[in-house]
């Protein structure tokens, strides 16, 4: 099957071994002074090891690989003890991998072992694993108020960002904080042109950002958008792009996702900004039922 999995550039790898502790699944081992991916079966493709590599030698690629097997991984992890089990389960939760988490919990129960995460506070879970892709809900924005203390400086204007991460490659579409929400899919440049981006476009929505011209893996973007529509059951999708022609690709990707998803009645609105941040065009889109819906895991 074709799926996301880590790739290690052995020319960049300096053999420091810092990636090893962040891979409790056991997919990486040090061999002849270099980090090696020893088993496709053990690599979940979530990238806990990415932030640990000081040389940038580890990346995520999509290629043909053996399906990840949570049961086999847990059989490898359990003998390593409570701390490794907790790190692995926390990593699954951070990425919204609820199905894999349930399989792992079943393995613990089968072996008569307690779940170490159940005794861990959400903040403890939040601050473990890979920093860049750690899934978080930023609770201070839930009220959505523009008010701020009189002593606050202009630099500390309240943010309307409710979730992290925001880059479409990094967001876990099955995370509970996307369920039933209104999604804003924004081109990277849009937030820099709209003077009141948070107030006028982001307030009340969860955010995903992408660049249709510079980002690789458009097929992954398509799969994630379909998962957000079908599995997270987002309430609506607003696409915010710039007037430059290359930005149209993001809107076309969203339309394609809606056409190929099972839920065809999700409202899709496309807004186009000029380089002064003004909305110059607005378009409502109705899905066209695809002949062959995309299949995704």
Count CB neighbours of 238 within 10 A. Answer: 19
| Beta-strand runs (E) in the chain | 2-8, 28-31, 34-37, 58-64, 136-137, 163-164, 182-187, 206-210, 236-242, 268-273, 279-285
Give how far Cα 68 sits from Cα of 5, 149, 204, Å: 9, 49, 36
Residue 289: the pLDDT is 62
Residue 41: the pLDDT is 86
pTM to 2 decimal places: 0.56
Per-position b or e across 155-167, b if 16+ CB within 10 A of its CB: eeebebebbbbbb
For the chain, give every residue range classified as CATH 3.30.70.20. Answer: 1-134
Block means of pLDDT (10 residues each) for the chain, 297 residues, are: 90 90 85 88 84 86 89 90 83 76 89 76 43 60 44 67 87 84 95 92 94 83 91 94 92 93 92 95 82 43
Residue 117: the pLDDT is 72
For the chain, give every residue range classified as CATH 3.40.1050. Answer: 136-142+158-285
The three-point CA angle 289-295-296 to 5° equals: 125
Residue 206: the pLDDT is 94
What pLDDT, in 10s, does the model give residues 12-51?
A: 999 998 888 888 888 898 888 899 998 888 898 888 787 7
| N residues, the chain | 297
Residue 177: the pLDDT is 84
What is the C-alpha separation between 80 and 33, in angstroms, rounded? 23
Fold category of 1-134 in CATH: Alpha-Beta Plaits (3.30.70)
Count CB neighbours of 154 within 10 A. Answer: 6
- What is 136-142+158-285's CATH number, 1.10.760, 3.40.1050, 2.70.98, 3.40.50? 3.40.1050
Any residues with CB less than 8 A from the CB of 166 and at least 6 apart, and which?
A: 207, 208, 209
Report CA torsion sign: 105, 168, 192, 282.
negative
């Amino acid at each position: 099957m074709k799926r996301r999995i880590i790739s290690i550039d052995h020319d960049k790898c300096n053999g420091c071994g810092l990636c090893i502790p962040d891979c409790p699944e056991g997919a990486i081992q040090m061999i002849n002074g270099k980090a090696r991916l020893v088993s496709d079966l053990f690599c979940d493709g979530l990238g806990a090891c990415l932030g640990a590599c000081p040389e940038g030698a580890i990346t995520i690629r999509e290629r043909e690989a053996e399906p990840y097997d949570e049961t086999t991984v847990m059989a490898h992890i359990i003998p390593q003890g409570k701390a490794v089990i907790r790190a692995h389960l926390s990593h699954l939760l951070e990425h919204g991998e609820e199905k894999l988490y349930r399989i792992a919990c079943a393995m613990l129960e089968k072996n008569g072992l307690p779940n170490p995460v159940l005794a861990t506070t959400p903040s403890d879970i939040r601050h473990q694993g890979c920093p860049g892709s750690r899934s978080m809900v930023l609770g201070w924005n839930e009220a959505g108020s523009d008010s701020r203390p009189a002593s606050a400086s202009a630099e500390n204007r309240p943010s309307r960002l409710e979730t992290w991460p925001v880059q479409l490659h990094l967001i876990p579409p099955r995370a509970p904080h996307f369920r039933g929400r209104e999604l804003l899919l924004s081109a990277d440049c849009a937030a820099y042109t709209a003077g009141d981006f948070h107030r006028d476009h982001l307030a009340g929505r969860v955010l995903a950002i992408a660049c249709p011209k510079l980002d690789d893996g458009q097929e992954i973007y398509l799969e994630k958008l379909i998962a957000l529509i079908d599995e997270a059951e987002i309430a609506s999708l607003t696409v915010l792009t710039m007037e430059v022609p290359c930005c149209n690709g993001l809107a076309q990707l969203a339309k394609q996702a809606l056409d190929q998803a099972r839920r065809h009645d999700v409202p899709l609105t496309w807004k186009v900004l000029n380089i002064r941040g003004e909305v110059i065009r607005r378009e409502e889109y109705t899905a066209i039922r695809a002949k062959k819906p995309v299949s995704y895991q």
